[in-house]
Amino acid sequence: MRILFIGDVVGEPGRKAVKALLPQLREQQALDFVIANGENSAGGSGITPKTAEEIFSAGVDVITSGDHLWDQKEVMTLLADEKRFLRPMNYPPAVPGRGSGVFETKQGAIGVMNFQGRTFMQPPVENPFLLAAEELKKVQPWTKVIFVDFHAEATSEKIAFARMLDGQVSTVVGTHTHVQTADEQIFPGGTAYLSDAGFTGPHESVLGREIEPVIKKFLTAMPQRFEVAKNRILLQGAVIEIDKSSGKALKIRRVSEAL
């Protein structure tokens, strides 16, 4: 089974990149399933039903999210109605939506799980290290192929979480920092790992935002309006090849495609 994970989709430029580049990537890479982190797809902060539908219509099968989940009030509709949209599962039990799901592909079922880290992250959420084992018990009876989006700031927390899950899931890919790392590898137990998938959107920027207001904020410590930048648009992420019978990863390769 071959999966493409698309790093944080930022604003209209990110959505444009997904719509323009994903169809050819699906064909070139013979993809069976596509996951995208869409928590920044609406104006660079949050997600709405409209931006989610744009991403789904481009060929994405599941959208994950993170700490900007609540930035658009319309997200409540997605959480209530859209089973292909996942929120970090380590929110308290009463929070609407779900943090994992099992989805069908032509190659068989795939489980997708979304967790959020706690180090240097807001809002404070439940400990993902303690919740992961319980959620795996729900997903593993349905499939051995399991993908995890771990939305976290600290690289140490991402690596530790993935090492804990080595051999129990197929892939752990980090999101949130918007900087694609070069540490793709397969752990001894067969779990593919990448600390951060990068982001899909304008890279002539500061993490997708116009450069000058960010510099001004650092110079003056005064509030600034951070508009989404426009230039040098890339689709970033990773392609993972998985043995569907064992759930073990065979290959992982970073992706960085220019629009």
Q: Which residues are catalytic?
A: 68
User: Which of these, 171, 175, 177, lies nearest to 253 by C-alpha position?
Assistant: 171
> How far does Cα 130 stand from its chain's mean position?
21
Pair 136, 100: CB distance under 8 Å: no
